[in-house]
Chain A
Amino acid sequence: MSCDCEEQNTTDSNIEAVNRRSFLTKITIAIGGFIGTVLAFPLITAMLDPVTRKKDTSWRNVGGLIDFEEGKTKMVSFENASPYKWSGEIAYSAAYVRREENNKLTAFSVNCAHLGCPVRWEEKPELFMCPCHGGVYYKDGSRAAGPPPRGLHTYPIRIVNNQVEIETQAIPITNI
C-alpha cells in the first residue's frame, strides 16, 4: 500500500513541477517582454527626436524688393526653420526668386521635381536645367522637358515693407 502512496505522491509532485515550470516559463517571457519594451523606449525616442522636437515655419528675409529686377530670376539663400544649433552652413537652403510685373514674385525650389537634384538657372534661354537626368523647366517653373512629373515646387513668398520674405518649407518631395 505504502508503495502506491509514494507513487501517487510522485505523480502529484510531478504535476506540481510541471505546473510550476509552465508558470515560470510564462513569467520569464512576460518579464523579458517588459525589459525589452523598456529598453526599446530610449532607442525609439532618440530616433524620433526630429518628430517630437518643437519646430515651426518662419518667414525669412531674402533681401529688399529693389534687389530683384523685373523679369529676372535670382538665387537667394535663407536659413531653414528651427535648425539644430550645430548645423552650421548646412542649415541654409536656396530658392530662385522671379519678379514679374506688378510686384508679382515667385520663389521656386532649387530641387528638381524629379529626384531633388539642384536645378541651374540658365539666364539667356530662361530655362531651369537639371544635371542629373536632364529635366528642364521654363521660367514660370512649368515642366519643359525630361523626366520630371510636374513643374518646380514653390515657396510661399511675400513683401513686407519693401522687404522680400520667404516662408521656410520642407525639401519639396514629389508624391504620386
Chain B
Amino acid sequence: MKKILKNIGCWLDDRGGFSDLLKPLTTHLVPPESTWNYVWGSATLFCFILQVITGIALGFLYQPSVDVAYQSLQYIENQAFMGSFIRGLHNWGASGMVFLMGMHMIRVYLNAAYKYPREMSWITGVILMVITIVMAFTGQLLRWDNNGVWSAIVAAEQMGRIPLIGDSLAYFLLGGDTIGGETLNRFFAMHVFLFPALLFSFVGYHLYLVFRNGISEPPKAGRLVNPKTYKKWYEDMLIKKGVPFFPDAIWRDAVFSAFVLIVIVCLAWFIGAPELSSKPDLTNVNSNPKPDWYFTWIFALFALMPREIESYVMFLGPLLVGILLFSIPFLSNKGERSPLRRPWAIAGVVFIILSISSLWYVGIQEPWSPRFDAKPLSEYTTVPDASNEIKKGIELFNTVGCIYCHRIGNQGGIRGPELTNVQNRLTKDQMVIRIVNGAENMPAYGGSLSKDELEAIVVFLSSKEKQSN
C-alpha cells in the first residue's frame, strides 16, 4: 500500500512537475537580515487571498440585482448559516488589506527599497494601491443599502469636479444620469470581475519582480546604492551569506499571516461587518451617508477645507498625490537608503500619518454635521423659574434649529460655539447681529425670525443659569 502511494506520488511529480515548480523557492536566496520588518507585503497578499475566498463565498449568497440585493444581504446577515461571519471576514479582510498595504508602503518608503533596481516594484505597488482602493469603494456600494447608494453619489460628485470630462466620468460610474437599475450591475461587474482580474495580474507581476530583483537588503547607514555596481554586489552578498527563502524567511510570513488571520476572525466574530442601514431609496432624505473608516479622513478633509479652493483640491489633490507617488523612484533612485540618514523621509511619513490620524479623529466626531437627533431642551429644567419669554426662547432654540449646531450644557450639536455661557462673551446686541446676519458656517436668520422671536431667543441666551435637562 505504502509503495503504491509512493508510486502515485512519484508519477504525479514526474509528469506534473510539482517539485520543479516549487524548487525555485528553496533555491531563491534572500538576505539573512530580512526578518520581521519584511512581513507586511506577504500579509497584504494573505488578506487578498482571504478576500478572494470570502468573496467567492459571498458570491454564492448574494443577488446582484437592484430589486433583491438588499434582501439577499438581509438573508446573509440574519439567516444564512455563518452568513454574518463570512460578511464580517470579507469586511475586516478589506480593512486589513488596506491597513497592511499602508504599512507595507511605509516600510518600503522608509527603507528606500524602491531605489535601483526595484523601481518597477514601487510603481506596480502604487497601481495595486489604486486598484485596492477602487475595490474597497465598489464593495461599499454592493451592500446596496441607503448608505452605500448615497456614497456612490458622493463619489460621482467628486468626479464631477474634474474639468471637461467630469460629467462623463460621473455618468460612466453611475451607469447613467442617476443611480438606477444599472448602477448595481456595473459596480458588481467591476468589483467581482474587472478589478480582481487587474489585481491578479498586477499582484503576479509584483511578485515576479520580487523574485527577479531579490528582496532588498535592510539598509545600513553609509552603504550607498550605486546602480553601476549594485547588482553584482547584491549577488555576491547573497552567495556569501544568503539564506533560502523557503523555509528560512517564509516561516515568519506564515506566522504573521496566521496572526493576521486570528485578528480578522476575532473582529469578524465579535464586531462583524457594519450594520446595514435602511433599504436604498433616493427619495428618503433622512439618510446620513458615511464612508467606511478608510475614507473617513477624506470625508473630514472635504468638510474642513476652505470652500473657495475645495473644488480644485478635489481633482488636483488626487492627481498630485498620484504623480508624486509615481515619481518617487525617479526623484532619487540611488544613494543613501537608511532612514537614519534620510530625516526628511521620516518627517514626511510622520507628517502624513499625523495628518491622516487627526483628520480621521475629527472625521469620527463629525463636528461639522448638524445633529438632527439632538434631544430638545426642556423649558422646565433648562432655566429655573423661566419667564414666558424665556420659555418661548427655549422652544424656538429647539425648533428653528439652533440646537442642531449649538450646545447648552451637554445637549445639542457641536458645529457652532457652545452657548451655555454665551451671556459672558456677547452682549444682547452682538447676539442679535450674529443671529440676523449669520456667518460663514451659520445661516442668517434675519429673514425667518420675527422681531419677537429674535428677542425671545436673545433673552433666553442671555439668562444666566442655562443647563441641559
A residues adjacent to B (C-beta < 8 A): 47, 49-51, 55, 75, 77, 80-81, 83-94, 110-111, 114-120, 122, 124-127, 129, 131-134, 136, 138-139, 144-149, 168-171, 173-176
Contacts and interface: CB of A to CB of B under 8 A. Distances in A.
B372 A170 contact: no
A120 B401 contact: no
Contacts of A124: 399-401, 448
Given A132-B289, A134-B370, A146-B368, A115 B66 contact: no
Given A86-B67, A174-B161, A134 B400 contact: no
A22 to B, nearest CB: 28
10 contacts: A80-B177, A84-B180, A90-B66, A131-B372, A132-B289, A145-B440, A145-B442, A171-B174, A175-B161, A175-B166
Interface stretch (B213-221, B280-288, B375-383, B424-432): B280-288
Nearest to A127: B443
A110 B448 contact: no
A51 to B, nearest CB: 7
A118 B440 CA distance: 21
Given A87-B180, A173-B170, A174-B160, A117 B370 contact: no
A118 B415 contact: no
Interface string B158-180: 11110100110011101111111
Interface of B: 65-67, 149-150, 153-154, 156-161, 163, 166-167, 170-172, 174-183, 186, 279-289, 299, 302-303, 305, 307, 310-312, 315, 368-370, 372, 399-401, 404-405, 415, 438-445, 447-449
A134 B416 CA distance: 11
B302 A115 contact: yes
Nearest 9 pairs of A and B residues by beta carbon: A87-B181, A173-B160, A144-B443, A170-B177, A84-B181, A118-B285, A133-B303, A94-B283, A77-B283
Contacts of A111: 153, 157
Given A86-B66, A149-B310, A176-B311, A93 B178 contact: yes
Contacts of A115: 153-154, 157-158, 302
A83 B172 CA distance: 15
A116 B157 contact: yes
A129 B178 CA distance: 22
A92 B380 CA distance: 44
Nearest to A136: B443
B96 to A, nearest CB: 27
Given A110-B283, A145-B443, 18 more contacts: A81-B177, A84-B180, A84-B182, A86-B66, A89-B281, A90-B280, A117-B150, A118-B285, A118-B289, A132-B369, A134-B369, A134-B370, A145-B438, A147-B303, A169-B177, A170-B167, A170-B178, A171-B178
Given A88-B67, A132-B369, A116 B181 contact: no
B381 to A, nearest CB: 22
Contact of A147 (B281, B307, B312, B442): B307
Contact of B401 (A50, A86, A129, A138): A129
A92 B283 contact: yes
Contacts of A145: 438-443
A171 B153 contact: yes
A88 B158 CA distance: 27
A91 B180 contact: yes
A126 B231 CA distance: 71
B176 A119 contact: no
A83 B302 CA distance: 32
Contacts of B283: 75, 77, 92-94, 110
Nearest to A147: B307
A146 B369 CA distance: 10
Given A84-B181, A87-B66, A131-B369, A94 B153 contact: no
A84 B284 CA distance: 21
A125 B181 contact: no
Contacts of A87: 66-67, 180-182
B285 A122 contact: no
B285 A129 contact: no
Contact of B438 (A85, A144, A171): A144
A144 B436 CA distance: 12
Max chain B C-beta neighbours (<10 A), residue from A77, A129, A133: A133
Contacts of B399: 124-125
Contact of B154 (A88, A117, A136): A117
